[in-house]
């Protein structure tokens, strides 16, 4: 069980890193693009924010897929013990 606990801890850290990278990327996109846009371009601001949200949803979907795969791996490891 010790090896399994290390694997779970590693995956938790990996998920946190992926989320942090997603947030930083979103901030860079929003900050870099929005800072140069005037107040008259509200529509373009909303479009950029929708792109960011779309990217975050894609990341979340990928994380859910990884989580599902980890559950399968955990079951297989448990069965082998």
Query: Cα dihedral sign for 17, 19, 24, 26?
Result: positive
Which domain does 60 fall in, by range? Answer: 2-80
CB 15 within 8 A of CB 66: yes
| Between 5 and 59, residue with greater pLDDT | 59
Helices assigned H by DSSP within 1-81: 2-34, 42-80
70/74 Cα distance (integer angstroms): 6
Number of domains comprising the chain: 1
In this prediction the pTM is 0.46
Query: Above 70 in pLDDT, residue 66?
Result: yes
Taking only the tens place, the pLDDT of each residue in 10-52 is 777 778 888 888 888 877 776 665 555 565 577 788 888 899 9
Place of tokens 């996109």: 29
Phi then psi dihedrals of residue 4, to 5 deg? -65, -40
The residue ranking higher by pLDDT, 11 or 61, is 61
């Amino acid at each position: 069980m010790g090896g399994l606990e290390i694997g779970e801890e590693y995956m938790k850290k990996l998920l946190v890193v992926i989320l942090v990278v997603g947030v930083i990327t979103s901030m860079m996109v929003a900050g870099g693009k929005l800072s140069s846009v005037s107040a008259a371009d509200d529509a373009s601001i909303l479009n950029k924010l929708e792109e960011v949200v779309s990217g975050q949803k894609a990341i979340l979907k990928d994380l859910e897929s990884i989580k599902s795969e980890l559950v399968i791996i955990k079951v297989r490891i448990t069965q082998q013990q």
